[in-house]
Amino acid sequence: MKALNLYDTQDLRYEDTPEPMVEHSDDVIIKVKAAGICGSDISRFGKLGPYVEGTTFGHEFAGEVVKVGTGVKNIKVGDRVAGCPAFYCRQCDSCKKGELARCERLHVMGAYHPGAFAEYAKLPEENVVPVPDTVDFDTAAMVEPSAVVAHGFYRTSIQPGAEVAVIGCGNIGLLAIQWARIFGAKKIYAIDIDDDKLKTARQIGADITINSMEHPAHEEVLRHTDGKGVDLAVESAGSPVTSAHVLALPKKGGEVVYLGIPYADIEIKRFYFERIVRNELTVLGSWNAISAPFPGKEWHASLHYMSTGQIDVEKIISHRISLSDGPETFKRIINRDESFGKVMLYPER
């Protein structure tokens, strides 16, 4: 089969690769219909390189089951499915407590297991999630990033009627806006420095958009909230700048949840750091997309709200590209040749 294999930083190859085979009784072989490029994939390609040289890349995908092991009970050939790419050890203290996202050896396919940028992918039955007929493959390929966002929201104490600010309107931020509404937010503020992203944020549900290059984000939020701030601020950019600025957005006693992954050191000015202390903020980190029982309520809730249309990914997807064009596409993304939202890759194109 053809696959995208990562050999080194900026060395991604579209090449012949052995097709996955059923080796264990719980194995499920999936014909990949759509696979999304994650921000972490871009960092691996551009800066960090592979965990294992030559490993098939990618972990956000959906497809159709073509083979199953003898012990597979709940998945059958022909099923439309999404793949939960996470592997947990089952042995560490966190796993034993059911805190699977905190597993000491947590990793995803595309790291030590072959990934999803390929014609076929393999996962254990436990990692295979049936997709309703009302959810198309493009949408199903985004269950994993949606579950990442849901995991973060479940960590908060957000209540219906809350006001929520989302700083960073990339793929995760745009999903966070929709999850904020699902969790009952009455007003949602979207913050970014890109007017195109802010336009999309308005289209998918943000009530107020703020370009923080034009006005300091916290000043605009305070202006719209009678000087109080929001109940919950979501950091979804992973930027050293926004990782500090987000602390000035919540009201006294409010919450911050970090979804973004910064790939540089963060220096927080006293003004922002003091907001934690003086406003008695609750600051939460959120990692991965799974919980017990595996893969977790994040996955089932994502598929439910995708089926109702309350999570709409169509406006988030900016490019639909053949898998064969993957290496060139990754180069264009890191070179910022144009504006990219979610990029979908298709083995069959």
pLDDT tens, per residue, the chain with 349 residues = 999 999 999 999 999 999 999 999 999 999 999 999 999 999 999 999 999 999 999 999 999 999 999 999 999 999 999 999 999 999 999 999 999 999 999 999 999 999 999 999 999 999 999 999 999 999 999 999 999 999 999 999 999 999 999 999 999 999 999 999 999 999 999 999 999 999 999 999 999 999 999 999 999 999 999 999 999 999 999 999 999 999 999 999 999 999 998 888 999 999 999 999 999 999 999 999 999 999 999 999 999 999 999 999 999 999 999 999 999 999 999 998 788 999 999 998 7
134, 184, 274 from 76: Cα distances, Å: 19, 37, 55
Return the closest-CA partner of residue 101 out of 89, 112, 109, 113: 89
In what helix (H) or strand (E) does residue 314 lie, and over which residues does it extend?
Answer: none
H, E, C per residue of 43-86: HHHHHHCCCCCCEECCCEEEEEEEEECCCCCCCCCCCEEEECCE
Q: What is the pLDDT of residue 286?
A: 98
Does a cis peptide bond (omega within 30 degrees of 0) precede residue 124? no
Which residues are CB-neighbours of 46 under 8 A, at least 6 positions away? 9, 10, 330, 334
Q: CATH fold of 147-285, please? A: Rossmann fold (3.40.50)
b/e map 310-330, b = 16+ CB within 10 Å: ebbbeebbebebebeebbebb
**Sequence-separated (6 or more) residues with CB below 8 Å from residue 91:** none
pLDDT at 316 (0 to 100): 96
Start-end of H helices in 166-325: 171-182, 195-203, 217-224, 240-245, 270-278, 297-308
Alpha carbon 142 to its chain's center: 8
Cα distance between residue 170 and residue 191, in whole Å: 10
Is pTM beyond 0.95? Reply is: yes
Q: How many CA atoms lie within 13 A of 8 on its CB side?
A: 1
CB count within 10 Å of CB 119 equals 16
Which pLDDT belongs to residue 45? 97
Domain layout of the chain by residue ranges: 2-142+316-346, 147-285
Q: In whole angstroms, how far apart are CA 156 and each of 164, 185, 284, 307, 342? A: 12, 13, 8, 24, 26
Q: Are 257 and 150 in contact (CB under 8 A)?
A: no
Answer for the pair 167, 233: CB distance below 8 angstroms, yes or no: yes
Rounded-to-integer distance, Cα 201 and Cα 208, Å: 9
Domain 2-142+316-346, second-level architecture: Alpha-Beta Complex (3.90)
- Name the residue type at position 79: D
